Amino acid sequence: MKIWQGILLGTFLGLAAAAVMLLVALPPKGEPIILPPTPSPAAIAVHVGGAVNAPGVVLLPRQSRVLNAIEAAGGLSAEADPDAINLAARVNDGERITVLSRSALATKTALTSTAAAGNPKAGSATATSAVIFPINLNTATQPELEALPTIGPTKAAQILAYRQTIGQFLKIEDIQNVPGIGPTTFEKIKDFITLEH
């Protein structure tokens, strides 16, 4: 290798090394990417009524249980029967939870017994099986509806007809859209009805 070639090669390698060091030493260009914090899941609103100390709408984290909703509503009142409700069930946004009192449960038991006793088919499995309250307005049968306070065969049939022609109830208050069922009747039956599945 000739001397001038060696000088040229050395100069080239020196320039290349200087360029690499310059690139490494330069600060990065552009704006840094800042990731926003992960949004926390929105709270759900649940209406808690019946035998609780502070009935009303409570806000809860998602995946909450009935127990959490009742605690947010001030806890069970002295008249409440904690065995009448599934405290471990999950709650959904917009749901209504009604805690029955011992007196309401006594009324329910009496209504169930009266409905079974007044049924001419008392020997059948349907008549002898107890109605479990609260009943689901969107799936209740004629005998289950008749077991509600002040709801006889005619009003029960009207509820079923409404459900077939109009569609499912979206909230329990919608039962007042059925002819013959007004605010007075609703107040008497609201603790015995639900839309839960």
pLDDT digits (tens, 9 = 90+) for 142-166: 888 988 888 988 999 999 999 999 9
Categorize the per-residue pLDDT at 37 as very low, low, confident or very high, splitting at 50, 70 and 90.
confident
Asked whether the CA dihedral 153, 165, 167, 179 is positive or negative, the reply is negative
Cβ–Cβ under 8 Å, residues 59 and 45: yes
Maximum CA pair distance of the chain?
122
Q: Residue range 25-39: average pLDDT?
A: 69
Q: Where are the alpha helices (DSSP H) in 75-182?
A: 102-118, 125-128, 142-146, 153-165
Task: Classify burial at 52, counting beta carbons within 10 Å of its beta carbon; exposed 0-12, middle 13-18, buried 19 or more.
Answer: buried
Confidence of residue 119 (pLDDT cuts 50, 70, 90): very low
Question: Tens digit of pLDDT for each residue in 78-112?
Answer: 888 777 778 888 888 888 887 877 776 565 555 54
Region of residue 30 (phi > 0: left; psi between -120 and 50: alpha; otherwise: beta): left
d(CA 181, CA 158): 10
Lowest-pLDDT range, 38-42, 143-147, 149-153, 172-176?
A: 38-42
For the segment 58-77, the average pLDDT, to the nearest whole number, is: 92
Percent of the chain with pLDDT over 90: 20
Mean pLDDT of 182-196: 88
CA distance 148 to 166: 21
Average pLDDT rounded to a whole number, residues 31-56: 80
Residue type, 62: R
Q: What is the pLDDT of residue 71?
A: 93
Give the whole-angstrom CA distance, residue 72 versus residue 78.
16
Does pLDDT of 125 surpass 80? no
* Residue 65 DSSP SS3: strand
For residue 113, CA distances in Å to 81, 110, 117, 134, 140 come to 20, 5, 6, 16, 18
Pairing state between β 135-136 and 193-194: parallel
